[in-house]
Structure formats: structure tokens, C-alpha cells
Amino acid sequence: MNTMFHYNWLVREEWYRWCEDVPEEELLRGRTGGVGGILHTLFHIVDVEWSWIRAIQGKSDFQENFEDYSTLEKVRKLDAAFHAEVEPFVRSWDASMEHRPFYNNKADGSVEMHAWGEIMRHVIAHEIHHIGQLSVWSREIGKEPVSANLIRKGLMKVSES
């Protein structure tokens, strides 16, 4: 679990650096698919990660508004603030947490039950999905996307027997 969260965090940081060389109007421009544009998608990734992890811990959630974070600097600051809470939880993950129940109260009054491990993997897959969208949009504006390669990021050590 830790490896894939760390992978997402590394790639997200690379996307923030990628954004530094893109005009703000391109970062804010509405795109086909996703939640809007490049910056709005990065904001969404951060917000969803934080919201789900707070939810499974039984903590309250509040919906952040993109209009309050519509610059690269503000999204990065929000990410840093949320990350300070998310990372310790991810680092503390162990096998005993995999099948803990999470009861999701839906807007229609129904309740869904999911395992914590399922939620965590959803958060990982959610970010990877949106990173793919960012890659397509980067090519649309003529920029090479950030590499999605997991290999060569130093996330896992080799154990020679």
C-alpha cells in the first residue's frame, strides 16, 4: 500500500513542477473529460485522497471549493496541509486494517459497506486515472507529460538472497 501512495505522491510532485512552465490560462482552461482543467484535476486528486482517508477514520469532511485554490501555489499549499495528515495514516497501514468495514452514507439515504483496503486502493487508482488525463492534456498543449513509470523511482529495494 505504502509503495503505491508514495508513487502517486512522487508523480504528483513532478506534475506540479511540470505546471511551473505552463501559462496559468492553460492550467485553468476547461478540458474534455475529467473534472475540468489541469489545475482543477490536481486539486481534485488532493481533495479526494484527503476526504476518503478522513472518512474511513471516522473524521469529518468538508468540501473544498476549487475557486478558493485556483493557482498552482494554492493547490500545492493545500496538498502540503492535507499530506501532513494523510501520510502518517498511510505509513501506519498494516494487514489488520485491510478488511475493516467502512459504512458510506449515500445522498439517497442508503448505506454502502466497503473494506478499508478497497477504499485505499480506490484512492490510488483514482489518482492514476486522473494522471492519465493530465498526460493526454499535456500533449494537447505540446508538452511532454510526466513519466508514469514506476520503475526507477527508488520505491522498492532489491533483496538479494
Tell me the per-residue pLDDT of 10-52, one tens digit each, with 9 for 90 and over. 999 999 999 999 999 999 999 998 898 999 999 999 999 999 9
Query: Tell me, what's the pLDDT at 157?
Result: 87
Can you tell me the distance from the alpha carbon of 59 to that of 96, in angstroms, rounded to the nearest whole number?
20
Other beta carbons within 10 angstroms of residue 150's beta carbon come to 13
More confident residue, 14 or 153: 14
Query: Tell me, what's the pLDDT at 61?
Result: 84
159 has a pLDDT exceeding 90: no
Paired with 111 in beta bridges are 105
Averaged pLDDT of the chain: 95
Q: 84: exposed, middle or buried (C-beta count within 10 Å: 0-12, 13-18, 19+)?
A: exposed
The structural domains of the chain, ordered by start, are 2-140 (1.20.120.450)
Query: Tell me, what's the pLDDT at 34?
Result: 80
Paired with 101 in beta bridges are 115
3-state secondary structure of 23: coil
In this prediction, residues 58-65 reach a mean pLDDT of: 88
pLDDT in tens, 133-147: 999 999 999 999 999
Fill in the amino acid letter for 56: I
* pTM, to two decimals: 0.94
More confident residue, 63 or 134: 134
Sign, CA dihedral 103-87-47-7, equals negative
3-state secondary structure of 97: helix
Spatial contact of 35 and 54, defined as CB atoms under 8 Å apart: no
161 has a pLDDT exceeding 80: no
In this prediction, residues 39-66 reach a mean pLDDT of: 94
